[in-house]
Every structure is written in structure tokens, then in C-alpha cells.
Structure 1
Amino acid sequence: MEIGKIPNELLEEIVIRNLHNKREDVLVHAGIGKDCAVIDFGEYGCVLSSDPITGASNNIGSLAIHISCNDIAASGAEPIGVMMTMLLPPSTTEADIENIMEDAGKASKELNVEIVGGHTEITDAVNKIVLITTVVGKQKKSEVLKNSEIVPGDLVAMTKYAGIEGTAIIASDLESKLAGVVSKEHIEEGKAMTKDLSVLKEGLLGGRMGAKYMHDITEGGILGAIWETAVSNDVGVRIFEERIPIKDSTKAIAKAVNIDPLRLISSGSMIVVMEKGDMERYEEKLQSEGIELSVIGEVVDSRITIESDGVEREIESPKSDEIYKVI
């Protein structure tokens, strides 16, 4: 099988199909395009999400904290605690572990989330460091996103720009290979994208300002996230390629390593679905916070498409992320 998340068709067929037991106190169940589970805890919902870091070598402590907290934020919830499991190959040094924890500690302080436990193990079952984080958040039950209310005509937007995480990883891990092919300015701008990995602020704002659905843009990039958005909500989505914001550094790095930036992992940006009036107010609020929002399309009755230069084509379900072609 290809490296990366298994295709959504297989996920549905051999994983989700075998989840037979459902409880009434689970408010949001497992499913494609659902970043979190939500469990009924009286006035509040307990919001849960888990993610691994497998595709990066540098800054993985920070990445691990940000990426799992992003899923919680995409539900409009506040992350509270993180459980972190580290599976480390025998070649790992004490300095490696300390660097990971220093990065994770700084990131958790930035996001005001506590690392409350986990597991640390040296094992020959892995040949590189694997971090798995599970984040627990809380949210008033009245504020749980109601994606069942999505209707044709609702706007589809994304925060920041495409390819954030992938650009940061490639620029950092492959800096020596990019030198002389990509300008130093673009490499440095790409590496600096690690500061843009959080969607906590826009997620909490979106949850309070009428978002019907939010989805962290991870493996599969913006096109994968659009496909998952449509399938998760049983609607169609039409987007316009020229409206998708991409930084010049991402374009230059993607061209240098021959990958599609629209299929590149992009933690740090988020899909948001809202009514037009709510979206306008949300955009104004984000602008005041220095966060870019771009309306890239709309909800339609059926089909999942992207239009470019007047030509409309179907968006296919996400396969292995472009990052695995080069990392």
C-alpha cells in the first residue's frame, strides 16, 4: 500500500464499517472528514482527537502539539490537555528526546494546553521517531457545530494559504537539496511557516460566529480537504483554483521537487463553511486578528469540482500526500 493515510474508500470499507457499537452519549461519531469525536459530559462536550507525526524530522515536538490541537480547534472547541506517545528507534539519543520535549513544551505554552501524560519507549519496531498525540478539549454542547444545517449556497472559505505544513517540512528537512535551485529567500520563508501551523484562534472564532463546518487541511492538501468536506456533509462543493491563496515560496519549492501544492499537507489552514452574512462578519474579525481568509467556492447540490480557466473538473478522493514523494 502507498505511504500515508489509507484512501478514504478503504477507510470506509474496512475500518469505519466495522465500528458496530454506537452509544447515545457520543454526540459526534467517527467518520470521513470528521476531525474529532464529541462525548456528552452534561453541560459540556468532551472533544477528542488523535494524530501521529511520521513525515517530518525537524520540529516534530512542536508539530505534534499544533496538529492535534488544530483538530480540536476545527470543531470550535478549546484544547485542554495532550497525551503524547513517543516511539523511538534504538539510535535515538537523550539529546533527541530533550529537543522534542523542549519544542513540545514551548508549543503547549503558546497554545495554553497542558501535556498531561503519555508514553515514551525505545523500540526496534520503528526506524524513525514516531510521535502520537491525543488532545482532550471541551465545548458547550450548545456550541457543537451543526453540519446537518449546510445547504447549497453556503460559502466555502479557507484560512491563510495552501501547503503550509508541507512547505515548512520540505524547506527545513531538504534545505541543502533546495539550495541553488530555490532562492534563499523562498527557503527561509518556507521554514518560517512553522509559526503559522496553529488554527486555534480562527477555530474558536468560527465556532462562535456561525460556522456550520470546519475542517483542518492536513494530508491530501486543499483538494483532499474539499473532497472530505463534501463527503462528510453529503453535499457537492465547487471551488475556483484562482481563488486559492498560495505563497510564492510554496510554488517555488513545489516546482523544485515536482509536487502538486494543492495536494500538499497544509496544517495551519482550515476549511470553513458559513452562510454569506456570517462569513462576512467572520472575515472582518479575522482581518482584525491579522489572519487571512479567502472565499474559494460554495456548496452545491452535487458533484465535487474545481474550476480553472473556465474549465471544470472533478476533484478525486485524496490519495497519498505529495509530501511522501520527497520526504
Structure 2
Amino acid sequence: MNKEFLDFRSDTVTKPTPGMLDAMMSAKVGDDVFGEDETVHNLETKMAATFHMEEGLFCPSGTMTNQIGIKCFTNPMDEVICDQTAHVYRYEIGGIAFHSAASVRLLYGKRGILTPELIEPEINEDNIHYPNSSLVVLENTVNKGGGACYTLGQIAPIHHLCNVKGLKLHLDGARIFNALVATGDKAAEYGKYFDGISVCLSKGLGAPVGSVLLGSRQTIAKARKIRKAFGGGMRQAGFLAAAGIYALDHHVERLQQDHDHAKELSVALARTSYVKSIMPVETNIVIFEVAAGTAQKIVDQFKEKGLHCNTTSASTIRLVTHLDLTPEMIDRAIDIILHL
């Protein structure tokens, strides 16, 4: 990142650190489709142990792990229950319909956070006219909710409801480690609540590629065949998996710095006249509403000064902090924000 370019568009824009590159270049690899890549196996095993689940499956993207998970837990003509802001609904190009031939029941949680009280009335009864409600999907953190977090205390009653009603529960955990750092909850506790967990390595953790789907041994066996059908069987993927292992070992605790940086940006934005409101900042995402005009106009003005970010609607803008943004860069960004 050069001095003129402060990139707040996403935490996916990071480059591998020198230590991560060294780990990638020294990885022991083999043909993973034949089950012979030692480093991929080590990543899958490490991630499964972290969340106290039986097995893991390394995939190229979080979209793939989410869509494989949904396909594992649904049948054609089933229905998936999720929030209307959910990534699996808004940003995975209709994959639920395309891959799984399932419909979607959209709920309206506060900043994308669902509750049993919201979910239970939307579970279909057994009726020839209705799709079978088979799966609930939660997102942690909620991207469109400004990085809002579920705690395990909020997840447990949703799990209980799904268990009583016979539904599966899947977690889009694209930024789950951000949530864990923010809430203080333990990753190992998650395994008893979810049938499937998708964990992204290429966002806050800073790996260049990849996500891991976690589940039971039976689920991952099914998922591995679905991954092959999706074209996601990689060969010497250990070079990429090594980056994920390095990220788990070195880049989790430092996420607190990203959260602190996001709060600093939020404080600065609150001092300006062009900001109408700011979502509460819990993790590394800042979403704010402009006071007048269009959000794109503000984004364009930021860009002229060397700060890159994106709109999330005609009136809202998102900034995302990450490991490539140093404290000095945050200071420069704050100066741009205050003097726009």
C-alpha cells in the first residue's frame, strides 16, 4: 500500500506478511484431491479442533463453504431462514436457489441479529402448500449490521429452538474471530451449537485465499463430494493452507487493534457535519449515514484525498480496518475525515 492509498474498502485487501510468505513457501504439499496434502490436512484438523467440531474442509472461498453447507443441510423445495441482510442471501448471487433449489424466508433482526422470537413464527408447519423449514443461518459478525456480534448467550436459545423444531443451524463465520475477540467467548464452545460453521481466512486473519467448512464427519464427507461437483477440489493447496495456519497462530489476538482503529474512525466521523448517524462499532467495520446528498459523492471526495472506501446504500458508507493499516495510516485517515 503506497502512501497515497489508504484502503478501507474491505479486510480482504491485505497482502501476506513476510512470516506468512515464508510459511507458504516452505509448506509440505501433495495432491489434496487424493487426500495427500499434509498441510491442508493440518489446517482442517487445527480449525476443527479450535471450534471443537469433528472435521473440516478447506475451500477457495467463504461463498463456497456457505453454499456447500446449505446444500448439505437442505433438500430441494426446503426453505432457509436468515436475516434479510445475510451475506448468503444478498452477496452469493442467488446460490441458495441455484445450488440447493431451496427458497429463503427473510427476517428483520436488529442490525441483522436474529432471536428465537423472530425465528419461531416463521418456521413452517407441515403443510402441502409450504416448503419445509430445514435450516437457520446466522452471520457472525453481521457485515451489513456494521460488524454486530452474536454472543454465545444469544446463540444458545436459537440452537435450542432449532433442536426442538428439527432444523439445522449453520454459521456464516466470515469474521467469527472478530466476534470472539470482541465478546471474549471461546471458539471451542461453538461446536456444540452449530451443525456447520464457515470460517474465512482471507478477511481479518489476513490470509490470501481460503475458508474452512466445519461439521460432523458425516457432513464433511458429503461436503467433500459437493466441493468436487462445484469445481472446488484443489491440488497442491498446502501453499494456501499454510497461510491459514500461520494466520491462526499469529493474527487472532491482533484483531483487537483493528477494533480499536475502527472506534477511532467512528469518533472522528462523529465530529463532522456530513455524517448523520453511525452504527455502533463493535469490531472492525464502521458504517455511517451521510447527512445530505449521496454517499457516493462523499466516497469520491475521500478517494481524491487518498482514502478508498465503499458505499453500502445510496446514503451509507462502510470503512473496514485490517492488518495492513498501521496506526500512522489511521491518523492520516482521521485527518482526511476531519478536513473533507
- Normalised by the length of structure 1, the TM-score is 0.28
Structure of higher CA gyration radius: 2
Question: Which structure features the higher share of strand residues?
Answer: 1
- Normalised by the length of structure 2, the TM-score is 0.27
